[in-house]
Amino acid sequence: MSGRGATSWIFVRHGESVANAGGWLSGWEDVALTPRGEEQARAVGRALAGLPIGRCLVSDLGRAQTTARLALEGRVVPIHTLGELRERHMGVLQRAGTAECTADGRKERYLLPWGEGPPGGESRATAVRRALAVLHHWDDGTPTLVVGHGGVLRGVLALFDGIGPEDLGALPPVANAEPTLRSGRVPRL
């Protein structure tokens, strides 16, 4: 650990998964990347080729693991697998169609609010807090690639940008396999 100034963070949501392509919520379910998702992950690697990366922190779910491995192909970068970077647990909404959840109000009721989660699942607050806690541990000035999931990364990035938890539900989703750079200390809630 370097301890030299502000940490440079590169946040990447995993490449397109079979759940993304199928339009359903995967949460903690371990789903694979599609061939398009694999190519997106390789494209991330090409986009990041000129940036220093001292380590990679990655969710323990396969779609994020595969994205990190493909993005870092040909580079010697230590990869640290962290369960705290997992997507939210979707509870009863696991495998529910995203269009159906929007149409019947479950998205508005369970997925967008900060403190409310689906029955048997996690709130956005719980998922983002666990991710922030682990990022604080690694916040030591080392340029860091973080490969995770849309729901958690949307919350983390919004807080980096000074957007309050009550406004997170109105933000657009984080795109698959598009690097987002931030520099500085991990925000506190």
- State the DSSP H helix or E strand holding residue 65, giving kind and residue range, or none if neither: helix 62-71
Q: Report the C-alpha gap between 156 and 186 in whole angstroms.
A: 9
Supply the DSSP string of 36-56, one letter for each residue: HHHHHHHHHHHHTTTS---EE
Dist CA 98 CA 104 (whole Å): 10
Is 14 annotated in the active site?
A: yes
Tokens encoding 136: 């604080």
Catalytic residue among 14, 29, 89, 149: 14
Active-site annotation holder among 29, 87, 122, 149:
87
Q: How far is CA 86 from CA 3, 54, 58, 63, 109, in A?
A: 26, 21, 9, 10, 22
Sign of the torsion formed by the C-alpha atoms of 133, 138, 141 and 144: negative
89 is catalytic: no
> In whole angstroms, what is the distance from residue 153 CA to residue 168 CA?
11
Catalytic residue numbers, as ranges: 14, 87
